[in-house]
Homo-oligomer: A and B are copies of this chain.
Amino acid sequence: MAEPNPKKEHKSPGRKPPDTGELLEGIRRADRTALARGITLVESTLPSDREAADRLVESCLPHTGNSIRIGITGVPGAGKSTFIESLGLHLTGKGLKVAVLAVDPSSSLSKGSILGDKTRMNDLSRDPRAFIRPSPAGESLGGVTRKTRESIGLCEAAGFEVILVETVGVGQSETAVHGMVDFFLLLKIAGAGDELQGIKRGIMEMADAIVINKADGANLEAARQARTTFRQALHLYPPKADGWRPEVMLCSSTEGSGIEAVWETIRKYREKALENGSFDRKRMEQNTTWLRQAVSEQLVSGFYENPEVSRAYRELEQAVAARQISPFRAAERLLELYGPNR
């Protein structure tokens, strides 16, 4: 069910942060209002909410991990929302509880591009087994990914068994989503030469499956050709660290064909990865990466926000361009400046 985003209620300064014990109880009983309020708390940018948000996230942590987390990316026009709706309805039809989240740091600019349009996923949003949450308000990628990453935990604590994380497929967010899911799916369409363009460098290599959408009617032949091309291309890469060989599949979200095969592939992946231990290992590595990335981002942004550094940076960058100083020596000078003045 799509919930109204009650963010505004948290914007009034002086408002007491919500009782996280109550929120946790609600989330654990799968009360979707409590879940929505919890996510709003996690998304809040009010410093006074941060402590409560951390408390809520940590109290949920022991109840997390029991879902399959699936990242779904594709360029605009690839049919992500119809695909997610088809897959989501297919899964709720099997009795599974499905949450849909989104990472789109640019959403404030490209309004409505991702989960923002209330008319999208109409059927899924009315499904009592589904929970759809629009992207957090446009901000830095770091902020948005932390919020999404922690919201996954809240959804898991509420008992959601499948988490679908949508990303727009045109920015830096795919790497972030790839780093928070178990299975990463690239959605493509064939025809109109689309298979020959528009894949951002690096995305194809992250995919655990490439699904060629809109494989129906007059498009079917082109979709089959695209499947062959992608299969050959994927064979140029060595197997992934977990031993998985990415699959290429056809589907039609409108006809509903291929959706079951996609789910079967994901189940097969999970089974294999659980068996060989790579499922848990990957999640552990993802956590360590998030920890280290968060540290790096903070260190680096703190550095460049230093007024002396930021002034000197502009000068040194020009000196590097004018070949008066090597970039390494310039870095040393900046670090010398920062040291005593921090």
- Using Cβ atoms and an 8 Å threshold, which residues of chain B touch A326? 54, 57-58, 61, 149-150, 153
On whether A61 and B323 interact (CB within 8 A), knowing A288-B317, A299-B299, the answer reads yes
A119 → B minimal CB distance (Å)? 31
As a 0/1 sequence over residues 275 to 318 of chain A, the CB contacts with chain B under 8 angstroms (1 = contact) are 00000000010011011101110111001000000000000110
A128 → B minimal CB distance (Å)? 29
Cβ-defined contact, A295 with B287, below 8 A: no
Cross-chain contact of A294 among B153, B294, B327 (Cβ < 8 A): B327
A342 within 8 A of B: yes
In Å, the complex CA distance between A284 and B327 comes to: 10
Cβ-defined contact, A287 with B321, below 8 A: yes
Count chain B CB atoms within 10 A of each CB in A198, A202, A329 and give the residue with the most: A329
A141 within 8 A of B: no
- Using Cβ atoms and an 8 Å threshold, which residues of chain B touch A202? 202, 205
- Using Cβ atoms and an 8 Å threshold, which residues of chain B touch A197? 238
On whether A327 and B288 interact (CB within 8 A), knowing A232-B233, A236-B229, A295-B300, the answer reads yes
- Using Cβ atoms and an 8 Å threshold, which residues of chain B touch A328? 146, 149-150, 290-291, 294
Cβ-defined contact, B291 with A331, below 8 A: yes
As a 0/1 sequence over residues 247 to 265 of chain A, the CB contacts with chain B under 8 angstroms (1 = contact) are 0000000000000000000
Cβ-defined contact, B299 with A335, below 8 A: yes
In Å, the complex CA distance between A55 and B101 comes to: 54
- Using Cβ atoms and an 8 Å threshold, which residues of chain B touch A8? none
In Å, the complex CA distance between A198 and B288 comes to: 27
Number of copies: 2
Which bracket fits the contact residues of A? 35 or more
A271 → B minimal CB distance (Å)? 23
A67 within 8 A of B: no
Cβ-defined contact, A201 with B237, below 8 A: yes
Cross-chain contact of A325 among B58, B303, B335 (Cβ < 8 A): B58
Quick one: closest B residue to A64, CB to CB? B323
- Using Cβ atoms and an 8 Å threshold, which residues of chain B touch A201? 205, 237-238
Cross-chain contact of A284 among B65, B236, B237, B321 (Cβ < 8 A): B321
Cβ-defined contact, A294 with B146, below 8 A: no
Quick one: closest B residue to A234, CB to CB? B233
A320 within 8 A of B: yes
Cβ-defined contact, B61 with A324, below 8 A: yes
Quick one: closest B residue to A284, CB to CB? B321
A196 within 8 A of B: yes
Cross-chain contact of A324 among B58, B195, B324 (Cβ < 8 A): B58
On whether A199 and B61 interact (CB within 8 A), knowing A303-B295, A321-B287, A328-B150, the answer reads no
- Using Cβ atoms and an 8 Å threshold, which residues of chain B touch A200? 238
As a 0/1 sequence over residues 142 to 165 of chain A, the CB contacts with chain B under 8 angstroms (1 = contact) are 000010011001000000000000
Quick one: closest B residue to A142, CB to CB? B328
Cβ-defined contact, B291 with A317, below 8 A: yes
In Å, the complex CA distance between A272 and B79 comes to: 37
On whether A331 and B298 interact (CB within 8 A), knowing A320-B291, A325-B58, the answer reads yes
**Can you spell out 16 A-B residue pairs with CB atoms less than 8 angstroms apart?**
A58-B325, A61-B324, A62-B323, A150-B328, A201-B205, A201-B237, A202-B205, A233-B236, A287-B320, A288-B317, A288-B327, A290-B328, A291-B316, A294-B327, A295-B334, A299-B303
